[in-house]
Chains A and B, each alone.
Chain A
Amino acid sequence: MKALDRITAAWIVTVLLVFPIAILLGILMRLNQANVLELSSLTFYSFMTAHGLLMVGIWFTMSMAGVSYLLQRYVEVKVWPVTLGYVLTLVGVVLLLAAIFLGDFHTGWYFLYPLPFYARTEQWATTAFLLSLGSLGVGWTVWVLGLLVAILRKYSLSQALAWQHLVGKQEPETPPFILITTTTLLGLVPAFIAAVVLLVLFFIEHLSGVKQDALLMKNLTFYFGHTLVNEMLYFGIATLYELFPSFAGKPPYKTKPFVAAAWNLVLLVVWTAYFHHLYMDFVQPTVVQYIGQLASWIAPIPAVAVTTFSVLATVYRSGMKWWLAPTFFFTGVMFWIIGGLGAILDAIVANNFVLHNTLWVPGHFHTYNLLGNVLFSLGFITWFVREKSGDDSSRLYRPVATLYLLGGTGFVLAFFIAGSASVMRRVDKYPHLVSSGSFWALIGAIFVLFVLTAVLFYVFHAVRRCWRVLVGSS
């Protein structure tokens, strides 16, 4: 049994076991907003923080684990960066959960300055949180650099970025998987460096009491946070490019010039898209706001367009035999478009005045996460399980796909509808003025029960099979 198989199985087992717990936290939040439960505000915000960080954490690492596994098709992948990433992630998560549940750390998932110094009961929770961030940061940076080195040992930077295809040359060939993975990895490096700078500034204040500039801290926070969640979606797309054509019995995708152009454009602008989180910060220099607006369009639109085109062209007249894996990938792309539209609407300055901090925002990011990125990872996992156990989960296909997609759609719609009625996000109980929020919270919670049922079936199926890979008995 190969080491990379094992560590991949370990990632899958861990992620799939945490997933239902994080969903449960989400359901409890929704039920509290629906006035079915009466959680204290502190409990609610602890749940919200744990839910957001766990979800982002598990699906970021799972998408990178999937890419790490598939990368060995092209280059030699060393296992130790993946393993180190796993260990340091575990350390980080344990510290984080301790900070949240023992120290009442409840800043929300992107821990906006100066909340980490206040939104907690125990003083040590701030320290634990900062150490946790450090552990995750080091683990993920090493992992990212490890993959980058693996690629650059075979492809030069210009080849890995498919610049030869940009100008129409055929040779040497760069598969789309390498191109997308490289642009994503290169996009993540500065995000992690931003996190390091942020962490240093946090520590300076924590240890010496010297205050930081709030605007600078917010910029660094979203440089890291936005870029991270943005890039994790691109890992999912890389996986899709690698696996999807084979499901339709078609040859692997080739890197066409427009595909190369789209992803190089992503690399160029993705790190400025985060400015859209600072539209309401009027002291941010105005040119930067314009850059943010433009980048918010340039980063996703070409990538979505070429991916949708490729996927539809693959499915069209292919006689594709649908099973769980291709279904996950295909619907993932479709919801990515819908969620992306919701996000782009919000990232237009004029609309942001209305939608900022309403439930519209969880509406769009849950669409391209729960119904986008998570599906890409589940697609990979389903494929991995079939590779290793021969079981294509056909018994699960209809019930799981139906419950998950139906439940997920209802769940995000409840967010979108409440958001367009100006119900604010991140509120544990809705005030009278927006009491319709409670109704939609109940609807959302009911739909999530479908999702949870599907997930539990799926987890039971996949974890058993991956566990066998992990302990090496297959």
Chain B
Amino acid sequence: MLACISGLLLIATGILGAQLNEGRYYLRRLPDVPLILTDGEQTSLYRFLQHQSILLTLFSARCGGLCSPYLLFLKQALGTAPEGFTVLALSFDSRDTRSDVRAMAHRLGLAEQPGWRWGIIPPEHIPRLLTTLGYSVRYDSARREYDHSIVVVVIDRRGNILRRMEGIQDASLLKDLVREARGEFVLSYPLPTTEVALRCFELDKETGSWRLSWGMALLLIPPATSFVVAVLLQLLLLPVRRAKSCQKGSAC
């Protein structure tokens, strides 16, 4: 049982540790941007969402940094897209063309991956989308390289952000994102931070072990104090009771 609880705690803290600010994005609605997909389909985000929820990720076909490893991580963690979902990979780079993106998908071995779709957005619509997603892109002209977020975002059919996961993380967390988007109950508990006054649990981040902490002990104050109060009243009022029974003339 202990192992079970600590396991849950670990998962929970893992998820939340990674996404402490996810609340900021929850239920933000994405703009209905036009999409030009590599297979030739031209549509808009909302029309696309009529048929599926999506796991959205962004990249640049010209990126020599994190984009390829991140997409390979997603490939490994997700495999084919989970049921009811499409993995939608869009370029955030206004210079990318459809064929650039198609080439990138081929290079990563993801062009034919079931459930994955690739595409670009007309340049004038890119900034709106990035802002809503909280996606940061900075071009480092010295290195001639992008410095950007790596993120996967779960979007429901109305275009709302359900979850947002930043960085390369344990693959099981990604699965939890999907489960939660399906309405399954995924356990989570805020990571104890130093800002919290009295915690119920203390977690050792190195070993993952936890123990009860002083917060829980606070729950003993009410019964303990009441016990003391009752005993005190009992003792303090003893003379009064004695005097009363004397008045009544019984033995005293």
Interface positions of A (Cβ within 8 A of B): 145, 148-149, 152-157, 186, 189-191, 193-194, 197, 201, 204-205, 210-216, 219-220, 223, 271, 282-283, 285-286
Interface string of B89-110 (1 = CB under 8 A from A): 0000000000000000000000
Measured CB to CB, the residues of B under 8 A from A are: 1, 5, 8-9, 12, 187, 189-190, 192-193, 195-201, 212, 215-216, 218-219, 221-223, 225-226, 229-231, 233-234, 237-238, 240-241, 244
Contact call B196/A153, Cβ cutoff below 8 A: no
Question: Smallest distance from the beta carbon of B176 to chain A beta carbons, Å?
Answer: 14
Inter-chain contact A215/B215, CB cutoff 8 Å: yes
Q: Which residues of B contact A191 (CB under 8 A)?
A: 222
Decide: A190 near B223, CB < 8 A? Known: A153-B244, A216-B215: yes
User: Which residues of B sit under 8 angstroms from A271, Cβ to Cβ?
Assistant: 222-223
Nearest-CB residue, chain B, relative to A282: B187
- Give chain A residues whose Cβ lies under 8 Å from the Cβ of B230: 148, 157, 186, 189
Question: Does A149 lie within 8 Å of B237, measured CB to CB?
Answer: yes
CB distance from A61 to the nearest CB of B (A): 21
Interface of B is mostly: helix
A156 to B219, CA, bound (A): 28
B234 touching A156 by the CB < 8 A rule?
yes
Q: Is the CB of B219 within 8 A of A219?
A: yes
Q: Which of B200, B212, B221, B234 contacts A197 (CB 8 A)?
A: B221
- Are A216 and B234 closer than 8 Å at their CB atoms? no
Q: Which residues of B contact A157 (CB under 8 A)?
A: 230-231, 233-234
CA distance A204 to B233 in the complex (A): 31
Q: Which of B199, B222, B225 contacts A213 (CB 8 A)?
A: B199
Given the contacts A213-B197, A213-B200, A282-B187, A153 and B240 also touching, CB distance less than 8 Å: yes
Residues of A within 8 A of B238 (CB): 156
Q: Are B234 and A286 in contact (CB under 8 A)?
A: no
A189-B215 in contact (CB<8A): no
Nearest B residue to A161, CB-CB: B230
- Whether the Cβ atoms of A156 and B198 lie closer than 8 Å is no
Give, as a whole number of angstroms, the nearest-CB distance from B233 to chain A. Answer: 5
B-chain residues with CB within 8 Å of residue A201 when the two chains form the complex: 197-198
What A residues does B240 contact at CB under 8 A? 153
User: Which one, B1, B197, B241, contacts A156 given CB within 8 A?
Assistant: B241
Query: How many Å lie between the Cα of A285 and that of B189 in the bound state?
Result: 13
A75 to chain B, nearest CB (A): 10
Chain A residues with CB under 8 A of B233: 148-149, 152, 157
Docked-complex contact A212 and B196, CB < 8 angstroms: yes
* Interface core residue of A145, A189, A283 (most chain B CB under 10 Å): A283
Beta-carbon contact of B219 and A223 below 8 Å: yes
A155, A156, A283: which contacts B5 (Cβ < 8 A)? A283
